[in-house]
Amino acid sequence: MKSPAELTDTFRANGLKVTPQRQLLFGLMHGNTVHPTAEALFAEASARMPGISLRTVYQTLTDLASMGELRLIDVGTGATRFDPNTDDHHHVVCSSCGEVRDVYVAGSDRLKVDGLDGFQIEEASILFSGTCVTCASDTVSRASARG
């Protein structure tokens, strides 16, 4: 995703207005690596700008996505995650707490794939799922406490 300053120019250049709400969200998303949900961003945004609406958060986020500045990610935890990292990358999600992290995969060009005949492929995404360090140690703690 471009920087807030660059986005400001891009928006104006496209006849879109640069509102305080948008600027706030530009800032909250820039460099954000946690893959937040709309609700999570709404909570952060509300802290800095009481009164901002969840509707506007969704609006701005989907606008940025359709401009190619954000990626919408579905890791199967219910709500869509928003990602300012537009590199070619994949994800890993903790099935316990829902944490999402970036995963870079090399060598996927050498995979032997069977079943794509007839399809004109646009993209391939790999989703890893498992338990993050925090949740793994929590489990250990509870086990110790019990036994």
Local structure of 85: helix, strand or coil: coil
124 to 105, 108, 142: CA distances (angstroms):
12, 10, 38
Rounded Cα distance, 83 and 118, in Å:
31
* Partner whose footprint covers residue 96, from Zn ion, a copy of itself, DNA, none (CB < 5 to 8 Å by kind): Zn ion
Write the binding mask 101 to 140 for Mn ion: x where contact by CB under 5 A, - elsewhere: -x--------------------------------------
Site for DNA in 33-62 (CB under 7 A): 37-39, 49, 51-56, 58-60, 62
What is the β-pairing status of strands 81-83 and 71-73?
A: antiparallel
* Partner whose footprint covers residue 97, from Zn ion, DNA, Mn ion, none (CB < 5 to 8 Å by kind): Zn ion
Single out the residue of 16, 34, 43, 136 in contact with a copy of itself (rule: CB under 8 A).
136
Site for a copy of itself in 88-127 (CB under 8 A): 89, 92, 94-95, 101-108, 110-116, 118-127
Shortest distance (Å) from residue 22 CB to a copy of itself: 27
CB-nearer residue toward DNA: 77 or 131: 77
Q: Is 84 within 8 Å of 31 (Cβ atoms)? A: yes
Rounded Cα distance, 18 and 15, in Å:
10
The CB-side HSE value for 40 (13 A sphere, CA atoms) comes to 14
Q: Is 91 within 8 Å of 101 (Cβ atoms)? A: yes
Q: Contact residues for DNA (CB under 7 A)?
A: 11-12, 15-22, 37-39, 49, 51-56, 58-60, 62, 78-80
